């Protein structure tokens, strides 16, 4: 199972394996406090796509489409998350965005679940 969660929220027992999927380290949080198991920068949206999207909900559909194309071009990183899910049963994709509905972790989860 894969879920998405803001990195600023406290770690919970049911988080399982925690993977940061931001290209940049989140502001204001130490590595100790983040308590991540893995940082997969290369699965995050490209800098150009991230800047174009700018977490604008009106650009969400276009962002998802372009991000899916980027993910299809990075099968190794995508496969790594799928393998982590098999090994750990629960994987939590961590993100730093304020918007819980329109962010790369949500788009990535949907892609991994075959819903995007």
Tens digit of each residue's pLDDT (9 = 90 or more) over 47-104: 999 999 998 999 999 999 999 999 999 999 999 999 999 999 999 999 999 999 999 9
Mean pLDDT of the chain: 94
Token match 């920068």: residue? 41
**Mean pLDDT, rounded, for 5-27:** 95
Size of the chain in residues: 116
Distance, CA of 21 to CA of 32 (rounded, Å): 17
Confidence of residue 114 (pLDDT cuts 50, 70, 90): confident
Distance, CA of 86 to CA of 67 (rounded, Å): 24
pLDDT above 70 for 116? no
Radius of gyration for the alpha carbons in the chain, expressed in angstroms and rounded: 13
Residue 43 near residue 109 (C-beta atoms within 8 A): no
Cα–Cα nearest to 45, from 57, 62, 32, 27: 62
pLDDT above 70 for 105? yes
Three-state DSSP state, 1 = coil
Distance, CA of 53 to CA of 33 (rounded, Å): 28
Confidence of residue 112 (pLDDT cuts 50, 70, 90): very high
């Amino acid at each position: 199972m894969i879920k998405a969660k803001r990195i600023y929220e406290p770690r919970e027992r049911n988080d399982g394996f925690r993977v940061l999927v931001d290209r940049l380290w989140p502001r204001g949080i130490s590595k100790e406090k983040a308590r991540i198991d893995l940082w997969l920068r290369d699965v995050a949206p490209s800098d150009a796509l991230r800047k174009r999207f700018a977490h604008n909900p009106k650009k969400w559909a276009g962002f998802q489409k372009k991000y899916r194309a980027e993910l299809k071009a990075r099968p190794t990183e995508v496969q790594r998350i799928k393998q982590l899910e098999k090994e750990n049963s629960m994987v939590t994709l961590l993100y730093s965005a304020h918007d819980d509905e329109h962010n790369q972790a949500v788009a990535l989860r949907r892609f991994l679940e075959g819903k995007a």
